[in-house]
Structure 1
Amino acid sequence: MFTPVPASPALSTAAPFRPAAEPPEERLVVPPAPAPVRRTAVPWIAALAPVAAALGMWAMTGAPMALWFAALGPLIVAGTLLDGRRVTRREQRTVTAERERARGRIEAEIARRHERERGVLCSRHPGLLGYLARPQEIWRPVPGREGTLVVGHGVVPSSTRVDSDDDDLGRALQALAGNLTDAPVVVPMAAGVAVVGPVVPATAVARALVLQLCASLPPGRLQVRGAPGGGEWADRVPHDAAAPVICHLDPRAAAGRAPGDAAVLAIPPDAVPPPHCAAVLTLTGVDSARLEYAGAGADVRVEALGHAQAERIADALAARAAAVRAPETLPAEVDLGALGEDHAAGGLRVRIGHDGAAAVGIDLVEDGPHAVVTGMTGAGKSELLITWIARLCAARSTRDVVFLLADFKGGTAFDALAGLPHVTGVLTDLDGAGAERALRSLRAEIRHRESVISAAGARDIDDPRVDMPRLVIVVDELAALLEGHRDLAAVFGDVGARGRALGMHLILGTQRATGVIREALMANCPLRIGLRVTDPADSRYALGTDAAAALPGDAAGRGLALIRRAADDAPALARIARTRVADIDRIRTARAGEPVPRAPWQPALPAHIPLEDLTEGARTTEPLIGLADDPEQQRRVAVRLRDRDPGLLVVGGPGSGKSTLLATIAAQLDPASVRRLPSDPEVLWDRLCELTARSAPEGTVVVLDDLDVALAGFPPDYAAAAAAMLEHLCRTGRGRGLRVVASTGRVGGPSARIAELLPRRAVLRTSSRLDHVAAGADPARFDAEAPAGRAQLDGRTVQIGHTAVPTLLPPPGAPTWRAASDVVGLIVRAGSGTRRLRGALEGAGMIVCDIADDPDALLRRSETPDAPFAVVGEPEQWQRNWRLLQAVRARGELLLDASCLLEYRVLTGDRTPPPYCAPGLGRAWLLRDGEPPVRVVLPGQEPRLRARAA
């Protein structure tokens, strides 16, 4: 029965257990304690002076009141004593508070130094758990580590020192600083350790101590002999060859061991510890023990290890040793031709390397169906993939296997393989959109293969009735691919789950598998190949051992690979063959006559599609816009402007193809149904007014290019009115059988409200991602380098049909005004144009009067004109001669200069904007009673306009 030994505190003589540490830091100093309170002396002289003075005054004056001064003596004594006591107490409180603050600082500094010291000791003497947590420390030579054995963790003397007075605080801080808790307790390896306790826990602790030695010293430096309890774990460690140091596990052999050899023995509790073991570790609990060594004792926390755990650690050490030793037996380099010919009978077995005795082959069908290849930069991962692909292409026809290669580590790794007939395409990270599009096509490829297998009445691709090659998808640097295209993780997961039956295989290359390949996908990749990695966790995740982290990292280690199949107990090391350009050229020549395989995805859209290649030239009410890319269905779809659509908004930057798209739509419509709205503001205004006032025939398509530019050409009032008319057309167009097709550089400002009424949008290349998103397109599909005519429409990528943009004739100008009445009123602003206007009127035989003349005479003349005459004045003058204004409007013509827009409403009383007039072109509005205003050109302005045009 296991009777725990009572634990006792660590002895002050624990120095033999403490490992060597860094030189001690500067001593910590505690402020001195407050000085003891001294008794304040009585000021007798100061007390007697008032008494003597009072007696002298009484003697001289004889006044009894003088004797009252004698009372000042006792008062001075009392005040002095009280003040001295107050000052002393204040000084003591100050010193005490300073010591308390210093105590907190020193305790925090002690904790910091202890933590650092503990970390240094644990790093230098890891113990078994330390080696398992940091496998890179295994067999690593560290000064002070060799020849020691960590028997547990406990209290050891610390190098931290505190200088203080001999008081309670000083002694407490010195005790706190001098003892380092939870630190490794070490003894010399050659001392020998006897673990005393019940058989099961004592044997478990002994296992941990022996494996700690095996992790500290490599094979060739340490040999393990005999296992307590007859366990097989000691036979699995690689420390079985002769070595300078021997660790004995058998008590009889340990009694005669040579100096310098170690001994770890499990001793029953009723037996006497052997005298040749200087360190005795007596178990006091499941994980606690009492260590007796060199005449001192200490309580320690020990490590214990189960039998199965010991076997797994022994296997890992054996694999690590094999990885370290094996390169010496492998050839330094293997040529592709030295592997011999592969037979094409069934599966996809090829030889890719050599293990020193024979060529090493793998079968992606039998050992797979999927594979993971891990390796750091420079380890030879790309060379392995190239060799694997080249060997398959050399041994198999395009009827048997085809490849889709994805290089996401620079875009050049698979260039040499691109010319092989088996390779249906090489995707790179340099073409992000094309790579995403092709990889999304894999879903369609899955459906295609399912339909082929189902049509043949078969269950999987192995059925002889299925005539379809296997598709191998090779990815170099999976982490980079998934980082740019996260949704592809689900696609690979789908291929991983169903690939065996469909004949789809994944070869995933990555620098590290941990955190990159999900466990569900990893479970479907039983074929694992590991080259050199830096993190043992990556090696364990991929291969089940740390062996890949132990491969040499120099030039000689390039091309060394650990291959583990599903049926293998441990990975096997091989040197991967190197493929040269001449080898690929020979394969290309030998396979030149192979049938061209079907591509697993539809090729990318061309950058230019002539409209005549898409249509037969017939007129239609549903014009073709272009071809849409549908990679998930492996097809291209024609996209049209449908009759039920309210219209189409085209958004794009300069040179993106906006005008071409509008021309493509208009070219397929009946010319009589197309209403082009020109960019000229005056004509655009007239056309909008016409379309708003009159109902256009059913099937009319209104085409407006550069909507934002057209609205920006108007002043604010006219821009708002023009936008309102366009909104009206868009709202009522569907009910009237009218569609609006407009283009704009961006969605914003006045065009934003119109854009809301045209939900169907074709977004071409925009000036910025912000404009792309504002147009309602997917941010992930923004491409600043997209070719002209490449649009995002209905969630798909579309290449519009190209046709020549027609050259529009300049719109006809406004007519020059000619008098049609004997009475004319002209409202113009004073300036040089007024003089030319007067000269033109007088040249036409009219009498020109100034409104500043006698208003009554002008009014009478306007009522009974004896000859054609015109009255010219500024807006303010006409406002003051209201009767004359009304008389001219009633009997003749009134011309209002377009520069007087602000006064138009006041002078005419018309709230509706008149026809828009471009500024600086001599425009005016002609007003006749009962008729709407008409845009005309004032006489005398033609020479000036011709000069401006020149």
Structure 2
Amino acid sequence: MHDHADEPLRLPAAPAVPARPALPIAAAIVPVIGAVVLWRVTGSAYALWFAALGPLMAGAGLVDGWRTARGAKRRARREAAAEIKALDADVTRRHDDERRRAWRRTPDVAGYAEDPDEVWRVVPGREGALVVGRGSAASGIRVDGEAHDESARAVRRRARTIDDMPACVPLEGGVAVVGPAPLAAGVVRALAVQACLAHPPGRLRLVGVGAPRPGDPASGLDSLPHALGTSGTALFVGMGGRGAPPGTDAQIVGVREGEPPPPGCAAVLTLAGGESARLDHDGMSRDVRVEAISRAQAEFVAGILAERASQLGYGGDRAASLDELSAPDAVAGSLAAVVGVRGGDPVVLDLVADGPHAIVVGVTGAGKSELLTTWIVGLCRGRSPQELALLLVDFKGGRTFDALASLPHVTGVLTDLDEGSALRAVESLRAEVRHRERVLAECGARDVAEAAGALGGLVIVVDEYAALVAAHPQLHDLFGDLAARGRALGMHLILASQRVGGAFRDGVLANAPLRIAFRVTDAADSRAVLGVDDAARLPGAESARGTALVRRAIDDAPLAVRVARCDAGSLEALRAASAGAIPARKPWLAPLPAVLGLAQVRGVGGAGTDGGIVLGLADEPEHQRQSVVLLAPDAPGLAVIGGPGSGRTTLLRTIAVQSPRVLWTPDDPESAWDAVMAIDDAAPGTTVIVDDADAIAARLGGEYGALWVAALERAAREARGRSLTLVLSLARVSGGLGRVVDLLPQRALLALPTRADHAAAGGDPTDFVPDAPPGRGRWGRRLVQFAVGSGESVAVGVTGGPAAARAPGTVGALASVSARASGGDTASAGALASVGATTHTASAPPLALDGARPIAFVVPPGPAAAARAAACADAGRHALSVDEAAADPSALGAGDAIIGTPETWLAQWRVLAAARERCDLVVDAACVAEYRAVSGRRDLPPFVAPGAPRAWLLVPGATRVRRVSTRAT
């Protein structure tokens, strides 16, 4: 059909100008000729009067011609005016049509209000256009023809310009509205609402909208369905000169007076008061009248659009309660549960059909925990605990699943507040895998679907999976194995995390086709889960909380879902429906007790029947068992490493209780020196116990400490060949003791202050357990609670040698040990008595002055010489100085004593040599620095505590140096 509106108009032609009437010469001459002819015929002179009629008729003709021409001219002018008027009316009509078409093509908010059917219609020219006001515009009307007068020229001028036309600019070019803040906010708000009326969700999404804020044009726009969009043109709406954030495609911003418009705004509206404004765009400036709306009006429009979006399936559903949504029909082998709404309809996810595993990501506060709670309750509705069991792991603070813990379907709620128990329970899933494999094998089934109900479903829900595997990287392999084999075994994972990077390995991602993403801050996380950036575009406003994107294997694109709320009523209804149900089977054993008696351990599986020493109970959650830890009877040794209060000494007492022969090294340095030096004389089958070895070595110090440690090292090397068991405890492995510990085949790691200390002691850093109770430690990689001994009788040998020389002992009641299980580790005499182990005490008998040989005293300068002389006089010995003995060597008798300082002895070397051969040489411990020079021996004497009244006694012909007390001398 031909559109006459597109045909050009034509100006009427100029009115025709009538020709001037011609002089009627013939009419004037004919009467004259007739009069002459008549005169000639009649001869009457009166006939000549007829000649006058010629001029009269000529004049009359002229007058009549003039009158006719003037009338014609007036008629032509009237006709031309009528044509101009008709043309003007045609211009007006065409202007109206053009204006109507323009406003219909690009309406403003008022235009959409007049005709709601235009909302989200696809109209050529509307896409990407934004009406910023009303003003004059060039008309599309063409007027042909020549303007012959001013009226024609006026019509042509009017036809060129049309008033009250929409002033449009490209949306993606950006618009800045400059003016007083309240008025600018209203105009910006109107422009944003207009854009949302023109473009449906999915074609346009709003950025920067949020909860109402005074003066912010984006306030009130958060309820628009476009605020929940994840795809389409990103339109930023805001106030201030900062402009749009990165990643946006367009912006509509308000700018206060005096501030420059932000970059990226191709159009600038400068408000002049009221509706008046000036539009600067594309290098031109023109006056326009703007449109503004209030926040209430914007919210009203938003409500209408939200309802329309919900009806059309664009999302933006209101938050629904789980009670409002009917549960799906229970189907055997299905784990379908309603989790939310989309387009007003319930959204059902099935872990079996859509899974078998699901991954949930989103920032804090986006709604992950709400989804997990709703999903768990939805799974439990209509299913018994035997059909479905749940293991809930919360590694972000321990409060997410509190309300669900009492459900009979829930086998346990594990939190990072008790990280050790949580890790233990998760590792128990390895044993659950083997258990389910055994059941399937017994049923001859390939998967749970063929097992005829022998196995129920087990859903493991982890909130903050990234934190769990970051703290325990070894769990990556476990979850990868569960993801790979879970479908056949009826084990399903729902893993929630704030981030994807570094948390989910390929093995988990490949087997988790059910993906749910809330708002994320990194587009890479969205792509990793959904394959698109949409989750990074979800708004962060409070009104958008609970909005998620769901993508299953069958979905071509993510679907927007509003997660349903699970309120207290839904939980109470589920508890009431599950009342009296048999709780689901737990996939793990009870944790190790904090205090464990030796009798309790022996009662586990007949432990101790092979003659080994019972140490404690090891937790093996991966096998769903707890086994007895034994020290083999022929074991050459054990190192017990732990911090203060960790239970080191208690463990040593437990070992001592069960050992047939014990050499317990006391904690005082002199006795410890003697005990370790006496290991060479220990009988086969002796258990040598050294408590606080590092502390003793430090107290011995220097050369003594090095020799003491060397003796322990020698004992460790020879232990197996001599049938000895060397057990030592220490707080830190360092120096030469490190070599000793390395020689011992077994190592028990008790609680240490830090993870670094645990690693330095030879443990795996991931096995470190902070705040472990006393007696809790590691035997290899296994977690062990070491036992507290109980009363038994044993024979205890002090040192080696003939049996008659060894003092037997009995083990007393260990009630005191049990009572002090959490106490200190220092082995006092009373504590040692409580285990009945006879200890090697330091030998320092008083110096006897009544011997048959003369005595040579080496004393420090000072009053010591006089004291020794007085003691000798009391004992009937004659005291000489070194110089006196040098003057008359033959005068020295058996009852004499020579007293001198190291300097005097060394000055009289002949006397010193004679004294070494004939006298009992007594070297005061204060002269340790000169001991080797005075005694002539290279070996160190027995250790003496600094400041103790001790001396060393060297008897001629004897190789052993004895420690004696000089307190009485």
Q: Give the TM interval when normalised to the shorter protein.
A: 0.5 to 0.7
Q: Which residue of 1 aligns with 2:587?
A: 600
Q: CA offsets, 1:762-801, max 9 Å, x none?
A: 1222233333222211122233422222222222222211
Matched, 1:924 2:924: no
TM-score normalized by the length of structure 2: 0.60
Q: CA offsets, 1:633-686, max 9 Å, x none?
A: 22222221124432111111111111111111111112xx21112222222222
Larger radius of gyration: 2
Matched, 1:911 2:899: no
Distance (whole Å) between structure 1 residues aligned to residue 713 and residue 778 of structure 2: 24
Q: Which residue of 2 aligns with 1:23?
A: none
User: Of residues 458, 464, 479 in structure 2, which corresponds to 1:471?
Assistant: 458
User: Of residues 763, 780, 787 in structure 2, which corresponds to 1:801?
Assistant: 787
The answer as to whether partners of 2:844 and 2:965 remain within 8 angstroms in 1 is no
Q: Which residue of 2 aligns with 1:788?
A: 774
| Match runs of 1:636-715 below 5 Å | 636-670=626-660, 673-692=661-680, 694=681, 696-715=682-701
Given the superposition, is the C-alpha separation of residues 619 and 860 from structure 1 closer, same or farther in structure 2, using an over 3 Å criterion? farther
Q: CA offsets, 1:12-35, max 9 Å, x none?
A: xxxxxxxxxxxxxxxxxxxxxxxx
User: Of residues 496, 508, 511 in structure 2, which corresponds to 1:524?
Assistant: 511
Secondary structure at the aligned position of 1:608 is classed as coil
Matched, 1:876 2:903: yes
Given the superposition, is the C-alpha separation of residues 222 and 802 from structure 1 closer, same or farther in structure 2, using an over 3 Å criterion? closer
Matched, 1:373 2:404: no
Secondary structure at the aligned position of 2:448 is classed as coil
The answer as to whether partners of 1:375 and 1:381 remain within 8 angstroms in 2 is yes
Q: Which residue of 2 aligns with 1:577?
A: 564
User: Of residues 887, 890, 893 in structure 2, which corresponds to 1:860?
Assistant: 890
| Match runs of 1:734-773 below 5 Å | 734-773=720-759
Q: Which residue of 2 aligns with 1:18?
A: none
Distance (whole Å) between structure 2 residues aligned to residue 732 and residue 347 of structure 1: 65
Given the superposition, is the C-alpha separation of residues 874 and 564 from structure 1 closer, same or farther in structure 2, using an over 3 Å criterion? closer
User: Of residues 221, 237, 241 in structure 1, which corresponds to 2:198?
Assistant: 221
The answer as to whether partners of 1:917 and 1:935 remain within 8 angstroms in 2 is no
Given the superposition, is the C-alpha separation of residues 632 and 220 from structure 1 closer, same or farther in structure 2, using an over 3 Å criterion? same
The answer as to whether partners of 1:495 and 1:504 remain within 8 angstroms in 2 is yes
Given the superposition, is the C-alpha separation of residues 470 and 633 from structure 1 closer, same or farther in structure 2, using an over 3 Å criterion? same
**Deviation for aligned residue 1:614:** 0.8
**Deviation for aligned residue 1:742:** 0.6
Q: Which residue of 2 aligns with 1:776?
A: 762
**Deviation for aligned residue 1:188:** 7.8
One-letter identity of the residue aligned with 1:669: S
The answer as to whether partners of 1:702 and 1:740 remain within 8 angstroms in 2 is yes
Q: CA offsets, 1:278-303, max 9 Å, x none?
A: xxxxxxxxxxxxxxxx9xxxxxxxxx
Q: CA offsets, 1:94-127, max 9 Å, x none?
A: xxxxxxxxxxxxxxxxxxxxxxxxxxxxxxxxxx
One-letter identity of the residue aligned with 2:455: M
The answer as to whether partners of 2:315 and 2:560 remain within 8 angstroms in 1 is no
Distance (whole Å) between structure 2 residues aligned to residue 765 and residue 544 of structure 1: 46
Distance (whole Å) between structure 1 residues aligned to residue 885 and residue 554 of structure 2: 118
Distance (whole Å) between structure 2 residues aligned to residue 753 and residue 554 of structure 1: 63
The answer as to whether partners of 1:606 and 1:799 remain within 8 angstroms in 2 is yes
The answer as to whether partners of 1:625 and 1:665 remain within 8 angstroms in 2 is yes
**Deviation for aligned residue 1:407:** 1.7
Matched, 1:559 2:546: yes
Secondary structure at the aligned position of 2:449 is classed as coil
Given the superposition, is the C-alpha separation of residues 531 and 727 from structure 1 closer, same or farther in structure 2, using an over 3 Å criterion? closer
The answer as to whether partners of 1:609 and 1:799 remain within 8 angstroms in 2 is yes
Distance (whole Å) between structure 2 residues aligned to residue 910 and residue 714 of structure 1: 20
Q: Which residue of 2 aligns with 1:845?
A: 876
Distance (whole Å) between structure 2 residues aligned to residue 523 and residue 505 of structure 1: 14
List gaps (5 residues or longer) in structure 1: 1-138, 149-186, 191-214, 224-237, 239-293, 295-318, 944-950
| Match runs of 1:144-155 below 5 Å | 146=129
Given the superposition, is the C-alpha separation of residues 602 and 322 from structure 1 closer, same or farther in structure 2, using an over 3 Å criterion? farther
Q: CA offsets, 1:868-893, max 9 Å, x none?
A: 33221112222333443444444443
One-letter identity of the residue aligned with 2:928: L
The answer as to whether partners of 1:497 and 1:524 remain within 8 angstroms in 2 is yes
User: Of residues 706, 709, 720 in structure 2, which corresponds to 1:723?
Assistant: 709
Q: Which residue of 2 aligns with 1:311?
A: none
Given the superposition, is the C-alpha separation of residues 676 and 545 from structure 1 closer, same or farther in structure 2, using an over 3 Å criterion? closer
Distance (whole Å) between structure 2 residues aligned to residue 735 and residue 913 of structure 1: 27
Q: Which residue of 1 aligns with 2:387?
A: 400
Q: Which residue of 1 aligns with 2:272?
A: none
The answer as to whether partners of 1:323 and 1:551 remain within 8 angstroms in 2 is no
Distance (whole Å) between structure 1 residues aligned to residue 318 and residue 199 of structure 2: 29
Q: What fraction of aligned residue pairs are identical, expressed as a percent? A: 44
List gaps (5 residues or longer) in structure 2: 1-121, 132-167, 172-191, 201-225, 227-281, 283-305, 790-813, 818-829, 834-838
**Deviation for aligned residue 1:458:** 0.9
Given the superposition, is the C-alpha separation of residues 746 and 551 from structure 1 closer, same or farther in structure 2, using an over 3 Å criterion? closer
Matched, 1:588 2:575: yes
**Deviation for aligned residue 1:147:** 6.1
User: How many equivalent residue pairs?
Assistant: 638
Q: Which residue of 2 aligns with 1:448?
A: 435
The answer as to whether partners of 1:478 and 1:508 remain within 8 angstroms in 2 is yes
The answer as to whether partners of 2:316 and 2:562 remain within 8 angstroms in 1 is no
Secondary structure at the aligned position of 1:636 is classed as strand
**Deviation for aligned residue 1:717:** 2.2
Q: CA offsets, 1:39-66, max 9 Å, x none?
A: xxxxxxxxxxxxxxxxxxxxxxxxxxxx
Distance (whole Å) between structure 2 residues aligned to residue 425 and residue 381 of structure 1: 20
| Match runs of 1:540-555 below 5 Å | 541-543=528-530, 548=535, 551-555=538-542
Secondary structure at the aligned position of 1:776 is classed as coil
Q: CA offsets, 1:134-165, max 9 Å, x none?
A: xxxxx9xxxx98569xxxxxxxxxxxxxxxxx
Distance (whole Å) between structure 1 residues aligned to residue 571 and residue 617 of structure 2: 38
| Match runs of 1:188-337 below 5 Å | 220-221=197-198, 330-336=317-323
**Deviation for aligned residue 1:618:** 7.3
Distance (whole Å) between structure 1 residues aligned to residue 531 and residue 878 of structure 2: 110
One-letter identity of the residue aligned with 2:723: G
Given the superposition, is the C-alpha separation of residues 916 and 391 from structure 1 closer, same or farther in structure 2, using an over 3 Å criterion? same
TM-score normalized by the length of structure 1: 0.61
| Match runs of 1:425-444 below 5 Å | 425-444=412-431
Distance (whole Å) between structure 1 residues aligned to residue 526 and residue 842 of structure 2: 80
Q: CA offsets, 1:819-846, max 9 Å, x none?
A: 2126222121232333333222222222
Q: Which residue of 2 aligns with 1:290?
A: none
The answer as to whether partners of 2:517 and 2:530 remain within 8 angstroms in 1 is yes
The answer as to whether partners of 2:327 and 2:378 remain within 8 angstroms in 1 is no
One-letter identity of the residue aligned with 1:846: R
Secondary structure at the aligned position of 1:807 is classed as helix
Q: Which residue of 1 aligns with 2:624?
A: 634
The answer as to whether partners of 1:375 and 1:533 remain within 8 angstroms in 2 is yes
One-letter identity of the residue aligned with 1:848: A
Distance (whole Å) between structure 2 residues aligned to residue 658 and residue 738 of structure 1: 20
Q: CA RMSD in A?
A: 3.7
Q: CA offsets, 1:582-603, max 9 Å, x none?
A: 4324433442422233222334
**Deviation for aligned residue 1:903:** 2.6
The answer as to whether partners of 1:621 and 1:699 remain within 8 angstroms in 2 is no
Distance (whole Å) between structure 2 residues aligned to residue 739 and residue 870 of structure 1: 46
The answer as to whether partners of 2:472 and 2:766 remain within 8 angstroms in 1 is no
